[in-house]
Amino acid sequence: MGKKANILLIYTGGTIGMVKDYSSGALRAFNFKKLVSNIPELSQLACKIESISFKTPIDSSNMNPSHWASIAEIIEKHYDRYDGFVVLQGSDTMSYSSSALSFMLENLTKPVIFTGSQLPIGDLRTDAKENLITSIQIAALQENNQAVIQEVCLYFEYKLYRANRTTKINAEHFQAFTSINFPALAESGVHLKINRNSLRKNLKHNKFIVHKIMDTNVAIFKLFPGFNRALLRGVLGIPNLKALVLETYGAGNAPTDDWLISDLKEAIGKGLHIVNVTQCSGGSVMMGRYSTSEKLKKLQLINGGDITTEAAITKLMYLLGSGVSHKSFRTIFETSLRGELTQN
């Protein structure tokens, strides 16, 4: 038998570590140490678990890039001492955080598994225990002295996903996430089935690099029938805006009104990066397929392909924060850096 894996739990907040305040009925965060004592099963796992907690655990709606940087910093500081990391956070913005971390952690050769739950850990019908225990087991998986999972993932309700392919789709069901454009990396049933063909493998000799600067001069504009010019201009005119995710219809389509095309053209001319991302949960942008995307193609909008909005916006923050040149921005965005898009 190999050595016991060392796992670091990073608790940031969220339902998983909450209790009910019975006087008000509201959920509030409790001391993280109680989370471990609430799950005695953890001591049965064949790994050594240590934990670290945000000083003030937060609801994930309050998360921002400075919290992502804190998570990245904790992982960087403890990278050599641990074999895997499990990040506990609320599910509401988990796809954003975990997508962001996938870009911030370059050449990762160890697992970073995000998880949380829909019901508090103390609840009788909680999903927290399974999510936490299996996440730890996955983070501890080793083969030939190497981690089986070498990327940032999200584990929820029996499925392990590549984090930057996920979206939260349900506020009620235990199955809160989906990854329509990329298969699950593992499924937990009676056995833990790993989908080996879909895993990322990083070369050990490539240096692990942590990027902490995320540029937030970005925006998302979702098209809807009837959006008017003033609204678009309001967004395009945001001072210091550097990049925009344009959520288009279907395979990357938009109205063909001249004012829309000329406003986008002017903004691109001034240096704004605009990424075409579909509002559909599945499928891909194919500019030029319909006449309603031909003009966007001519404008040379960046093609988001099958990227999620969560991955697109965090990739923009990362690329802008890394000082990628204007000239190579489009090519780099359209390149899969962490498996976040399907490259044809």
Known catalytic residues are 15
Per CB under 6 A, contacts with ligand ASP among 280-319 are none
Closest CA to 132 of 109, 157, 161, 165: 157
CA 101-217-179 angle, 5° bins: 40
Shortest CB 58 distance to ligand ASP, Å: 7
DSSP 8-state secondary structure symbol assigned to residue 86: E
Scanning 73-81, 89-97, 190-198, 226-234 for contacts with ligand ASP by CB under 6 A, the matching segment is 89-97
Interaction of residue 188 with ligand ASP, rule CB under 6 A: no
Dihedrals φ, ψ of 39, to 5°? Answer: -125, 80
Q: List Cβ neighbours of 328 (8 Å cut-off, separation of 6 or more).
A: none
Interaction of residue 14 with ligand ASP, rule CB under 6 A: yes
Interaction of residue 90 with ligand ASP, rule CB under 6 A: yes
Interaction of residue 276 with ligand ASP, rule CB under 6 A: no
The Cα–Cα gap between 97 and 266 comes to 32
DSSP 8-state secondary structure symbol assigned to residue 56: S
Contact string (CB under 6 A) for ligand ASP, positions 33-72, x = contact: --------------------------xxx-----------
Per DSSP, the three-state class of 114 is strand
> Of 90 and 305, which CB lies nearer to ligand ASP in the complex structure?
90
**Per-residue CA distances from 320 to 24, 50, 65 (Å):** 44, 35, 13
Scanning 87-95, 142-150, 158-166, 202-210 for contacts with ligand ASP by CB under 6 A, the matching segment is 87-95
Shortest CB 30 distance to ligand ASP, Å: 13
Binding-site size for ligand ASP (CB under 6 A) equals: 10
Q: Is 24 exposed, middle or buried (0-12, 13-18, 19+ CB in 10 A)?
A: exposed
Query: In the bound complex, which residue of the shown chain has the CB atom lying closest to ligand ASP?
Result: 90
> Of 117 and 303, which CB lies nearer to ligand ASP in the complex structure?
117
Closest CA to 15 of 156, 144, 111, 147: 156
> Of 59 and 247, which CB lies nearer to ligand ASP in the complex structure?
59
Which residues sit at the interface with ligand ASP, rule CB under 6 A? 13-15, 59-61, 90-92, 116
